[in-house]
Every structure is written in C-alpha cells, then in structure tokens.
Amino acid sequence: MNISSNIYYLNRAKMPAFLDEIGRKTGSNASSIYLPPGISENEIGSRTQAAGNALPEEMLSTAAQSQTGAAAFIGESYNCLVVPPFPLREQVAFTGFETEPLRKLLETDYKIGLVLVHLGSYAVGYCEGDTLITSKVGTGLVHGRNRKGGSSSARFQRRRQNQSTEFINRVCAHVLEHLEPKAKELDYMVYGGPRQTVLMLKKRCPFLKSLEDRELPLLEVPQLRQIVLEKSIDRIWSSCIIEWME
C-alpha cells in the first residue's frame, strides 16, 4: 500500500490545540489505539485490526520502534500517528478520536534530569515540567585529534586522554551537584551529545547507573551553551505527528 505522509513536531504549548482539532475530526468508523513501547509489529497489527482499523506497514514499524510508544487515530477522513515525548503506560482502544490519555500525559509536570555533553562543553540541568529549575553550563580544554605519527603522536594522545578524563570527571561532579539530591524524585533522564562521549561519562559517573531505567531517547545537540540547554527542553516535550493519506 502506498501512502503519502506529513511529519512534523509540536511542542507542549501547541499540543492542546492540536488535540482539540483531532477531536473535531472524529466521525463514523473512527478509532483511537494507544500503544505502549515494547509491542512487536505483529502484535500492533493484530490489535489495531481488532479495534476496527488497520495501520499501514510504515506506521506499524514506527510504532513498534518508538521508545515511548504511539497513539494512532484512524478514520475515513483523517489518519495520524502521535509519538509522544514520554512513554505511554497502557494499551487501550476507543471508538472515535479519544485524546484524553495524551492530554493527561502532556499535562503532567514530570521531573527531568538533563545531561548534555561534548568533549569540551557540557550542560547539566534539572526541570520540573518544561521549567528549568537549576543548571550548569561550562567548557573544558580537550585538544582535537593529532594526525601526525611517531612518538609525538603518542604523547599527544596521552595528553588528550588525560584532558578528556579530567573534563569528564568535572562534568560528573556537576551531575552529582545538581541531580543527586533529586534522584528519588526524577521521573526521567535525558542525555544529549555524541553517543561515545555520553557512554564515557556514564562509565566514569557510577551515580548515573542508578537512573538507567528512566532514560529517554538520546538527543543530538551541538556544542553546549545555555540556549542549547533551553531549546533542548522544548525538544524533550515535543511530540512527533505523522499524518497520512492512503
């Protein structure tokens, strides 16, 4: 089946109006299916068919791969898949376009820890809802890679490794300062930056291991400044909307 799709993102402030609009589009033979993460494509296909409307293969794949699950709104005149910023907890189906579970999810002021890191810059923050409560943004000296060979290259690599270790240890100290007092309250953790750098930090900062079960998908972020941290909060709260026509 060939479909034409339109993909875009809406932040927390814009989602209520979007959900209001979905409610006005409901009609005969319309259904809503809420799918938590961890359900296979085959299971999703069976459950959406049982609800009365099948999802196209492309949407099945997107819903199955989402780390936060998805909500499907399927009808004769309008179809969309919403990938929310936080995990859906319950698998449920409705007749018509029912948006209340998404509204409740997005109205909850989750407590979120942010750790964004590149070698040479970092941002650590704690949010309640989409409000940044406390943060620390900084830089550190980590030289770039040396392309020359020989003994000078080996010395340079040792120096770079020492700089990287010192920098990562300093970031870990700021993580402990801002997030450890809130550890029991945190609902979610968000990391941003190159995957290897984030893994390096998590390895050097054992405290973060206790928060592994609360991680949201990794963000791609540029070198860190305060504005990058603030924009990241908006991204964390944004839902992905996929509209399609068959």
According to the model, what pLDDT value does residue 55 have?
A: 84
| Confidence grade of residue 48 (pLDDT, cut at 50, 70, 90) | confident
| Confidence grade of residue 245 (pLDDT, cut at 50, 70, 90) | confident
Q: Which of the two residues, 234 and 155, has the higher pLDDT score?
A: 234
pLDDT digit string, tens, across residues 151-187: 556 665 777 677 888 899 999 999 999 999 999 999 9
| Confidence grade of residue 14 (pLDDT, cut at 50, 70, 90) | very high
Parallel, antiparallel, or unpaired for β 111-118 and 92-95? unpaired
- The whole-angstrom distance between residue 25's C-alpha and the CA centroid of its chain comes to 28
pLDDT digit string, tens, across residues 25-44: 877 788 999 999 999 998 88
- The whole-angstrom distance between residue 116's C-alpha and the CA centroid of its chain comes to 13
According to the model, what pLDDT value does residue 144 have?
A: 56
Is pLDDT of 196 > 90? yes
According to the model, what pLDDT value does residue 142 have?
A: 58
pLDDT digit string, tens, across residues 87-145: 999 999 999 999 999 999 999 999 999 999 998 899 999 999 999 999 999 987 555 55
Angle, CA of 197, 202 and 205, to the nearest 5°: 125
Contact assessment for residue 102 and residue 188, using Cβ atoms and an 8 Å cutoff: no
- Measured distance CA(145)–CA(137) in Å, rounded: 24
Q: What integer best gives the mean pLDDT of the chain?
A: 88
- Measured distance CA(226)–CA(52) in Å, rounded: 48
- Measured distance CA(78)–CA(87) in Å, rounded: 24
| Confidence grade of residue 80 (pLDDT, cut at 50, 70, 90) | very high
Torsion of CA 75, 76, 81, 84, to 10 degrees: -40
Q: Which of the two residues, 194 and 226, has the higher pLDDT score?
A: 194
State percent of the chain over pLDDT 70. 89
- Measured distance CA(222)–CA(151) in Å, rounded: 33
- Measured distance CA(179)–CA(123) in Å, rounded: 12
List the domains of the chain with CATH numbers.
4-108 (3.30.960.10), 111-236 (3.30.420.60)
Tokens 């040396």 sit on residue = 146
* Residue 96 φ/ψ region, left for φ over 0, alpha for ψ in the -120 to 50 degree band, beta for the rest: left
